[in-house]
Amino acid sequence: MKTLFFLLFIGIFSQLNAQTIDSAWVSQNYSKLETLIPMRDGKKLFTCIYIPKNIPTAIGTEKHPFLMMRTPYSCAPYGKDQFSPRLYTTNWANYLKENYIIVMQDVRGRYMSEGEFVDVRPFIENKKGKEFDEASDTYDAIDWMLKNIPNNNGNFGVFGISYPGFYSTMAALSNHPALKAVSPQAPVTDWFLGDDFHHNGAFAIMDGFSFYSSFGKPRPKPTTEHAKGFTFPEKDNYSFFLKQGALKNLKQYLGDSIVFWNELMDHPNMDDWWKARNARVGCVNVKPAMLTVGGTFDAEDCYGAWNLYKAIEKQSPKTTNKLVMGPWVHGGWHRGDGTYLGNIRFGSKTAEYYQKNIELPFFEFYLRNKGTENKIAEATIFFSGENNWKNLESWPPKNSESKTIYLKENQKLSFDKPTKTSSFSKYTSNPNKPVPYSEGVHLRRTREYMNDDQRFAARRTDVLVFETEILNDDLTLAGTITANLKVSLSTGDADFVVKVIDVFPDNFKYDSNYCCLGVKSEAEMAGYQMLVRGEIMRGKYRNSFEKPEAFTPNKIETVKFELPDVAHTIKKGHKLMIQIQSSWFPLFDRNPQQFIDIYKCDDKDFISSDIKVFHELEAPSSIVLPILKN
């Protein structure tokens, strides 16, 4: 009789597992609970819990693990009969098939949760009494659900992308014993140095304004409604933001009610206010297993993924800590198949590979004790260019070495040091005609700029271009790139943008093996200048992000900064190119090119600057490349 029951169960389970996951399947196999979970200070957080309808097993009722996402973007739709489409249109479907209890929670002060919302709320290391932060809110939510949701197996996992990635990091710091596995994905980590709204102190004006014009609006009481954003009067972001003039002029559209925007304007330097909002500060003695995930072409939070992983490695060396980076845009590993981005193709369904071979096995092992954890490498990294996954023992790889390549006269790049005693390239940076970040006219910031063709920029007189000869061997970059520029300015400040570019051969064309659905037309790939990595540095922070310093006009000074990590192979027959410029608009705000508080300056303060980049014996500008040895 037991054997018959077991075979019947196997047949039912196999049939369910083979079905297409859609809205009908979800409503047939799951029930939804909406509840307010009390926190230690008395506030209650609105939580949607999708619970599997019990399936009989050979030994009784199945016990289910929890998988939770905490979000400031709403766990809509609201209503116990309304099921979230993301359950069956994204990677959540993999966990429905395995009968996980799915949890989505509005964080404190957002949508239907009580309390006051605080952006990237600082972590409190030693909380006392009713003190709370995002880590304690996670702890309290987990504790309540373990005691009140039946048929759970006592194991919790947390994941989330972008801002929910930040809340995943905070969850990992909660130290709840039931929390076994956490996956911060494209996690907001440091909003001053590299994520979303600032890179090395330069303000990401286009994303910052678009985001906070809606997200930043006050929510005086719980609501299911989304705040409306700003309606742009034209569909040309370059034109719109240039017409606004000084940064402070945008206040006319925002008013005084958007708290975090006002705080941004009041904290131009990396002071204690910013340091408290660095998600890495509490990553000590992390208890759950960690899987940090990101996209090498993520325009929003590429920095956060690389650097959160490194922080946990350094600050919590005993933690099981793994890294995955694929050729994806923001969240591209959960949406789409990851076969291409813009004009660049990757040769396989990279997102599907990740979902089946890394993320699901990670949670299955730690939450259901299925499979083996050691099948997931320490660092699983996709190298574009060669279009290949590498399973590495560490990141950066142990066999990666730093090698310096020098800017030379006549637009050349060479591993040989310059020998001339006087040599430089020069350009004039005019803030009234800034270098665009992308070709063409559009309103919303493109995702594809991360690997766009840079030929449009190379043709400008305010963009310096340096390139190697045609490579005789593959050049694989694996790690952090460092720009080390020797420059002089005619003014007190300027920005510096360094772009690392893969120049395709003049006869290059994708073959049929690289075809993929969604590519609208065949771009001209012969001579394509693929952006591999670009980064901006606000010059006044060259010596300290805490204490900015003016340049002495016409004095040679060093501007040294890191670009986010890279995993790319420049193939034999291609060339390596470096472009240098002093604006990247409207991706980042314009520098007035005077030593001044940019958030408070006036239209009249924007002036041109004559900039020299030196490539001579005593002042050799260079780029330090992380080259992977065979």
Concatenate the DSSP letters of all residues of 482-548 into one string: EEEEEEEESSS--EEEEEEEEEPPTT----GGG--TT--S----TT-EEEEEEEEEEGGGSS-SSS-
DSSP assignment of 127-171 equals --TT---HHHHHHHHHHHHHHHSTTEEEEEEEEEESHHHHHHHHH
Kindly report the three-state secondary structure assignment for every residue of 343-412. CEECCCCHHHHHHHHHHHHHHHHHHHCCCCHHHCCCEEEEEECCCEEEEECCCCCCCEEEEEEEEEHHHE
- The answer to whether residues 624 and 402 touch, using CB atoms and an 8 Å cutoff, is yes
How many beta carbons lie within 10 A of that of residue 98, not counting itself? 17
Structure tokens at 112: 């239907």
In sequence order, what are the beta bridge partners of 623?
405, 483
Question: Quick one: CA torsion of 363, 366, 368, 373, rounded to 10 degrees?
Answer: 90
pTM: 0.94
Looking at residue 436, the DSSP 8-state letter turns out to be B
Q: Among 204, 287, 291, which Cα is nearest to 250's?
A: 204
For residue 97, CA distances in Å to 51, 81, 291, 409, 500 come to 12, 20, 21, 61, 43
For residue 302, CA distances in Å to 289, 499, 511, 512, 517 come to 21, 15, 30, 30, 25
For residue 77, say if its preceding peptide bond is cis, omega within 30 degrees of 0: yes
Structure tokens at 144: 């309540």
Q: What is the predicted pLDDT for the residue at 388?
A: 97
Tell me the backbone φ, ψ of residue 210, rounded to 5 degrees.
-60, -40
The structural architecture, per CATH, of the domain 400-628 is Sandwich (2.60)
Q: Among 217, 38, 225, 185, which Cα is nearest to 119's?
A: 217
Tell me the backbone φ, ψ of residue 416, rounded to 5 degrees.
-90, 135
Structure tokens at 300: 């929003």
- Please, which contacts does 342-346 make with residues 24 or more away whose CB atoms are closer than 8 Å? 342/447, 342/448, 342/451, 342/452, 343/448, 343/451, 343/452, 343/453, 343/523, 343/525, 343/528, 344/384, 344/451, 344/530, 345/387, 345/510, 345/514, 345/515, 345/516, 345/519, 346/382, 346/384, 346/387
Looking at residue 261, the DSSP 8-state letter turns out to be H
Q: Residues near 239 by Cβ (< 8 Å), separated by ≥ 6?
A: none
Handedness of CA 297, 303, 308, 314 (dihedral sign): positive
Q: What is the predicted pLDDT for the residue at 372?
A: 84
Q: How far apart are CA 451 and CA 437, in angstroms?
A: 11
Looking at residue 24, the DSSP 8-state letter turns out to be H
Rounded to 10°, the helix 259-266/205-215 angle is: 140
Q: How far apart are CA 330 and CA 346, in angstroms?
A: 16
Tell me the backbone φ, ψ of residue 483, rounded to 5 degrees.
-90, 135
Q: What is the predicted pLDDT for the residue at 8?
A: 38
Q: Give the start-to-end residue ranges of the domains of the chain.
A: 1-121+128-185, 207-275, 400-628
What CATH number does domain 1-121+128-185 carry, 3.30.830.10, 3.40.50.1820, 3.30.750.24, 3.30.565.10? 3.40.50.1820
Pairing of strands 101-106, 198-199: unpaired
Q: How far apart are CA 303 and CA 165, in angstroms?
A: 13
Looking at residue 440, the DSSP 8-state letter turns out to be S
E strand or H helix at 581: strand 575-581
Residues 510, 512, 514: CA angle, nearest 5 degrees: 60
Buried b (16+ CB within 10 A) or exposed e, 441-478: eeeebbbbbbbbbbeebbeeebbbbbbbeebeeebbbb
Q: How far apart are CA 541 and CA 550, in angstroms?
A: 9
Q: What is the predicted pLDDT for the residue at 9?
A: 39
Q: Residues near 584 by Cβ (< 8 Å), separated by ≥ 6?
A: 434, 435, 437, 495, 497, 534, 536
- CA 67 from centroid of its chain's CA atoms: 22
Q: What is the predicted pLDDT for the residue at 20?
A: 86
pLDDT averaged per 10 residues, the chain (length 630): 38 52 92 98 98 69 93 97 92 94 98 98 96 98 97 97 98 98 98 97 97 96 94 97 98 94 97 97 96 98 98 97 98 93 96 96 96 90 98 96 97 97 98 97 96 98 98 98 98 98 96 58 87 98 98 98 98 98 98 98 98 98 95
What CATH number does domain 207-275 carry, 1.10.3020.10, 1.20.1280.50, 1.10.1760.20, 3.40.50.970? 1.10.3020.10
